[in-house]
Amino acid sequence: MFHATLDSSKTWKQIVDALATLLTEVNFVVNKNGITLTQLDSSKVAMIDLTLPAGVFQEFNCDEEMQLCLGVDELTKISRRMAADDRLEFDVGDDKRFEIKMIGQAERVFRLQMLTPPDNQAKRPDLKFMAKLEMNSDALKQAVKDIGVISNHIKVTADKKSVIFAGEGDTGEAEVQLTTGEDSVIYDLDSKEKSTAMYALNYLSEIVKAVAADTVIIQFSDDKPMRLDFGIAEAGSISFVLAPRIERR
């Protein structure tokens, strides 16, 4: 049995939108501590890792660990039906259906059939990063859009003092340079040596759309995956890991 309530439908929408960037099916693991999700997208190029501690919710009860496997398409359609001031209630009872109740001027209930969960849980790749930075998330979104004008991939370079986003395509080149210092959109930068890696923009632009927090932490190494961490639903956190695009010679 599972029961939880959430005062803000906006928070729920953010969660669903973040998952919809990469997944067509979501597989939540629910236990007394809260809700988690660790999933690869079907191309195995990117991964989402979501943690929603019980404290995110106003009420939260779960007597035994369970997996909630649901279609993202349905979740998105339902979250679009939520009014801004609706209160939400989530329940899984004995009928094994996922029930979403929206309580506002009317009381509306959606019951979703659950899908069969995958056989094995995705494991997290073992990663060490050479560069770590914390920056303003709007600045990141703008940089991704800027590079997208010219290129379909983005090259990220970090050294002690600056971060450069760059790209090139048939029509030319683009570059966004951000330096640390007072009033900078880079809040923190830790990169002892120069690190460079390239990532596909079609994945990255989907991922940055999901960022609803003000700041985001980016970590990466030379030609290795990039990890993005940001807060979601106040006490919750989400991270995306994206595999690089490799140039072969």
Partner 1 sequence: MYYSDLATTYSAVEQTSGTLDKIEKFSELLTRASADDIESVIALTMGKIHPDWKDEPEVGIAEKVAVQIVAAAAGVPESEVTDSLRDVGDIGEVAEQLLSKSAQATLFSEDLSPNDVYEALDEVAHLTGPGSAREKISKMVGLLSDSEPLEAKYILRTAMGDLRLGLGDMTIIDSLSVAFTGDREARSSIERAYNVSSDLPWVARVLLSNGFEEVTSVHPQVGRPIRMMAAKKLATSEEILEKVGGQALVEYKYDGERVQAHKDGDKVVLFSRRQERITSQYPDVVEMVTKHLKPEVCIVEAEIVAIDPDSLEMRPFQELMRRRRKTDISEMRDTVPVALYLFDILYVEGEDVMDRPMLERRTLLEEAVSDADRVRLTSAELVNKSERLDEVFKDAVATGHEGVIAKAVHDDSVYQAGSRSWLWIKLKASYKEGMADSVDLVVVGAFHGRGKRTGLYGAILAAVYDETTDSYPTVCKIGTGFTDEMLVEMKQRLDDLGRAERHPRVESDLDADVWFDPELVIEVIGDEITVSPTHVAGKGILHEGGLAIRFPRFTGRWRDDKSPNQATTVEDLVEMYKNQRPEGP
- CB of 38: closest distance to partner 1 in angstroms? 12
CB nearer to partner 1: give 40 or 218.
Answer: 40
Q: For residue 144, what is the DSSP state? A: H
- CB of 10: closest distance to partner 1 in angstroms? 25
> Which residues of the shown chain bind partner 1 in the complex (CB under 8 A)?
24, 40-47, 72-73, 123, 125, 152-153, 169-170, 198, 200, 202, 225, 241, 243-248
CB nearer to partner 1: give 104 or 169.
Answer: 169
- CB of 17: closest distance to partner 1 in angstroms? 15
CB nearer to partner 1: give 76 or 180.
Answer: 76
CB nearer to partner 1: give 47 or 135.
Answer: 47
- CB of 164: closest distance to partner 1 in angstroms? 19
Which of 127-158 are b and which e, b meaning 16 or more Cβ less than 10 Å from the residue's Cβ? eebbbbbbbbbebbeebbebbbebbebbbbbb
- CB of 170: closest distance to partner 1 in angstroms? 8
- Give the span between the Cα atoms of 195 and 118, in whole angstroms: 36
Q: How many residues does the chain have?
A: 249
Cα 216 to Cα 66, 80, 180, 186, distances in angstroms:
30, 26, 15, 10
Three-state DSSP at 121 gives: coil
CB nearer to partner 1: give 215 or 227.
Answer: 227
Start-to-end CA distance of the chain, whole Å, equals 56
58 C-beta neighbours (distance < 10 Å), count: 13
- Give the span between the Cα atoms of 52 and 183, in whole angstroms: 32
CB nearer to partner 1: give 32 or 124.
Answer: 124
- CB of 233: closest distance to partner 1 in angstroms? 25
Collect all residues with Cβ–Cβ distance below 8 Å to 8 and sequence separation of at least 6. Answer: none
